[in-house]
Structure 1
Amino acid sequence: MNLSIQLHLAGLSLSNTVRVLEIFGVKRARSTVHNWVHKADLQPNSCRNPDHVAVDETVIRLVDEQYWLYAAVDPASNQLLYTKLEPTRNKGIASAFFTELREKHDVDDAVILVDGDKSLNYACQRHNLDFRYERHGNRNSVERVFCEIKRRTISFSNCFSNASVETAD
């Protein structure tokens, strides 16, 4: 179980993870591995130390409700560092997002790239993070990632209209 969770979080697809398990004589369905990963409630933690981190939030719709998706992206690789789905947005939630991001990644020396959102600016100041207002440039990476997330969320919401927010998260 532990090996399959680690393999999947390292980037292997569910199918490839199942194939690796079969090498060791363990036969499990993709759905079983998916459930293990989901129950572990882990997000990838690469312990990276990026120079810049683009942070933003956006509204996504799930069925008939809207949620705020907070995300931190490494602009050098366009990889998500951390995400959090919330029913609303405010300074407290933004601050909690940065607390959790700092627990997962060493971003204390990184320049945080934010847009004009006051709650994100407040959270950066509260955590004594070096932040810079940037509308384009390296911040475009988080916008590209959000565009793809929104595309996938719409597809997910259309296909699984009875799914809960926990499933979407």
Structure 2
Amino acid sequence: MPENARLGGNLDQIELEFVEREATPQLLMKLSIQPHLAGLSLSNTVSVLEVFGVERARSTVHNWVHKADLQPDDGRSPNHVAVDETVIRLNDEQYWLYAAVDPETNELLHTTLEPTRTKVLAHSFFGELREKHDVDDAVFLVDGAKPLQDACIRHGLRFRYEKHGNRNSVERVFREIKRRTSSFSNCFSNAEADTADDWLRSFAFAWNQLI
């Protein structure tokens, strides 16, 4: 997250319906999930729990994050949407991260992780985005990527080529994601693609809480 970010998000938005016989108080679980997604490593998050007299393994906190099933809220109506794609390394394999951002608020609207980069997957991403948010009247800001432009045309969406300007919002998100995945390799090391996809959506939830 940006260096001046503060943990001001609402903990009540982190629902722990998956909890059954977990001995850790839910407030401490939420206080673990939020700072980890905000940039704290699993090791340091476990150390924070120890301050409260609770000893938990890093894998336990990792599981809390994924079981919480966090993701950005639906129902946004942005005037502009910056869309981009970038390569994410998962173990020794290459995946493509698709992301849509409201450049006026810097909120992440939707993300998905795919094993390749095709027009079909780009079209699917835009379809999911349209199901989640009211974006049919928005202007989409895209770069020279043909699959993204083709998806806009097939969905009947207005788009504008923009290499910098308002598209910088999605580039900032990508930089932070790459910083996290390189600094805290335990997020994606030995992880399945579905697990990484879940983490990215949880990251999007935390990003929106803290911007």
- TM-score under structure 1 normalisation? 0.78
Which of 95, 102, 107 aligns to 1:79? It is 107
1:90-127 per-residue CA deviation (whole Å, 9 max, x = no partner) reads 00000000000000010000000000000000000000
Query: Distance in 2 between the 1:102 and 1:90 partners?
Result: 19
CA change 1:160–1:82 in 2 (3 A) is closer
Query: Distance in 2 between the 1:145 and 1:17 partners?
Result: 19
Which of 137, 143, 157 aligns to 2:185? It is 157
Equivalences for residues 87-106 of structure 1 within 5 A: 87-106=115-134
User: Larger relative CO (CA 8 A, sep 6+): 1 or 2?
Assistant: 2
> Secondary structure at 1:94's aligned position in 2?
helix
CA change 1:16–1:68 in 2 (3 A) is closer
CA change 1:151–1:102 in 2 (3 A) is same
Query: Distance in 1 between the 2:118 and 2:68 partners?
Result: 30
Query: Distance in 1 between the 2:165 and 2:184 partners?
Result: 30
Segments of 5+ residues of structure 2 without an aligned counterpart are 1-10, 16-26, 35-55, 198-211
Q: How far is the alpha carbon of 1:159 from its aligned partner?
A: 6.0
Number of residues paired by the alignment? 150
RMSD of the alignment, in Å? 2.7
Instruction: Confirm or deny: 8 A CA contact 2:98 2:112 kept in the other structure.
Output: yes
Note if 1:59 corresponds to 2:115: no
Segments of 5+ residues of structure 1 without an aligned counterpart are 19-28
- TM-score under structure 2 normalisation? 0.64
Question: Which residue number corresponds to residue 14 of structure 2?
Answer: 8
How much identity, in percent, do the aligned residues show?
A: 65
Query: Distance in 2 between the 1:87 and 1:140 partners?
Result: 25
Query: Distance in 2 between the 1:94 and 1:126 partners?
Result: 10
Equivalences for residues 26-37 of structure 1 within 5 A: 31=61, 34-37=65-68
Instruction: Confirm or deny: 8 A CA contact 1:62 1:157 kept in the other structure.
Output: no
Question: Which residue number corresponds to residue 21 of structure 1?
Answer: none
Instruction: Confirm or deny: 8 A CA contact 1:61 1:154 kept in the other structure.
Output: no
Query: Distance in 1 between the 2:148 and 2:32 partners?
Result: 38
